[in-house]
Structure 1
Amino acid sequence: MIGDSTMSEKEVRAYPETGWGTPFAHYFESDVVVENHARNGRSTRTFLEEGRWDPIKENLNEGDYVFIQFGHNDEVQSKPQSTTKEEYQTNLVKYVTETLARNAQPVLLTPIARRHFDQNGDLVDTHELYSELMREVAQSENVPLIDMDRKSQELLKSLGPEKSRFFYNHLEPGQNPNYPNGLEDDTHFNELGARKMAELVIESIRELNLDLKQKIVQ
């Protein structure tokens, strides 16, 4: 697994923030090894620049899967780790082609929706451009795509502005020692939200009929 903070493992000091990769690892039979290399704040570019991809690539074996989810940090042009549209797609193609070269299976995942409802209670699509750029790469390279942007948007819309709060980090002052002043975070998940997002990925593995589905605990 390579990606950003929505997928990554967290330090204790970040609790209850939870990346969906944490519960995801527990949906498989014991002989499946899940390595979560996602890190907070990374984009397709900085993950490469920091040398995080090369050792992963070199250790890939036939039959391995690489789940690739970037976009949150690539798309925000005010962030130093952002990428242009062209750079984003070029980097995604690099991950895909180098994974295939090792006889492993890349799986692209669009970025999960932010919880952003407007005054009318309608969910705002905050990943529209970069999700579409990833869809284009999945199509051009003929690799599986899990459209987590659309799937998570559908889920949030079904819950509405109030109930959807329970998937993200909304804490009152004094409620949690890690966030003594409280927290209003509509990007990162709590344990419940992370588990729900992992379930959407598991559901998609079955829908795509990936061989990995045989290892999902029934």
Structure 2
Amino acid sequence: MENDAMAGRSSRTFIDEGRWDGVCAALKPGDFLFIQFGHNDGGAINTEKARGTIPGNGDESKVYKMETTKRNQVVYSYGWYIRKYIRDARLKGAVPVVVSPVPRDRWKDGKVERNDNSYGKWAKEAAEMEGAFFIDVNKLVADKYDAMGHDEVTKLFMADHTHTKYQGALLNASIIMEGVRSLSQLGLNKYVK
């Protein structure tokens, strides 16, 4: 098992920085690749940290002039990047598994806010378009958070609404494992204890 995640990256910047090239080169037939992006894809596209993607799941692209480098860059939709990861992994013989983003510690009317009309939805659509496995971690974790309630869930997070403490990470990981177990055709179940 190898974790190549890097804090603060989006589906776009993970590619822009060459990180995907290294991961993709190391993939072997039969490897399982878990793909999860979204929290940073909603950021600014060409200003500030310039890591955002075009909202949605289409094939649209647009050329933006980057504020810091003054260079033009083609930016695609969030779903386009997710589909690229899926296709590239398959070309290497790996099994791609798309995982929706976990919910943040944001609440409305006593329920945690879900991203089922944004990045969670687009992740699912991208997986379906490519025939990849999908784990709706957003729904699974949000259901758990709703059952726990705001006060208990807030204890799992650090000073912000996105990053969990160790206990929150363990909870999210256990829920991802539930998602893996629910995908009987994935072939990974025999390795999960």
TM-score (structure 2 length as normaliser): 0.82
Sequence identity (%): 32
Change over 3 Å in CA distance of 1:122–1:206 after alignment to 2: closer
Secondary structure of the corresponding residue to residue 168 of structure 1: coil
**Distance (whole Å) between structure 2 residues aligned to residue 99 and residue 126 of structure 1:** 25
1:144-174 deviation per Cα after TM superposition (whole angstroms, max 9, x unaligned): 00111111111111111111122212xxxxx
TM-score (structure 1 length as normaliser): 0.73
Contact kept in structure 2, 1:135 and 1:145, CA below 8 Å: yes
Deviation at 1:134, TM superposition (A): 1.1
| Correspondence for 2:150 among 161, 180, 202 | 161
Deviation at 1:77, TM superposition (A): 4.0
Q: Which residues of structure 2 form unaligned runs of 5+?
A: 59-76
**Distance (whole Å) between structure 2 residues aligned to residue 126 and residue 186 of structure 1:** 14
Q: Counterpart in 2 of 1:206?
A: 181
Q: Counterpart in 1 of 2:62?
A: none
Secondary structure of the corresponding residue to residue 145 of structure 1: strand
Change over 3 Å in CA distance of 1:133–1:201 after alignment to 2: same
Deviation at 1:80, TM superposition (A): 1.8
Q: Does 1:117 align with 2:107?
A: yes
Deviation at 1:127, TM superposition (A): 6.0
| Correspondence for 1:49 among 16, 22, 44 | 16
Deviation at 1:186, TM superposition (A): 2.0
Secondary structure of the corresponding residue to residue 149 of structure 2: helix
Contact kept in structure 1, 2:38 and 2:119, CA below 8 Å: yes
Supply the RMSD in Å over aligned alpha carbons.
1.5
**Distance (whole Å) between structure 2 residues aligned to residue 77 and residue 155 of structure 1:** 31
Secondary structure of the corresponding residue to residue 128 of structure 1: coil
User: Highest relative contact order (Cα 8 Å, sep 6+), 1 or 2?
Assistant: 1
1:36-60 deviation per Cα after TM superposition (whole angstroms, max 9, x unaligned): 1111110011000000011211111
Q: Which residues of structure 1 form unaligned runs of 5+?
A: 1-33, 170-183
Equivalent pairs, count: 169
Q: Does 1:70 align with 2:31?
A: no
**Distance (whole Å) between structure 2 residues aligned to residue 42 and residue 128 of structure 1:** 21
**Distance (whole Å) between structure 2 residues aligned to residue 127 and residue 144 of structure 1:** 17
Deviation at 1:101, TM superposition (A): 0.6
Secondary structure of the corresponding residue to residue 35 of structure 1: coil
Deviation at 1:88, TM superposition (A): 1.0
Q: Counterpart in 2 of 1:84?
A: 54
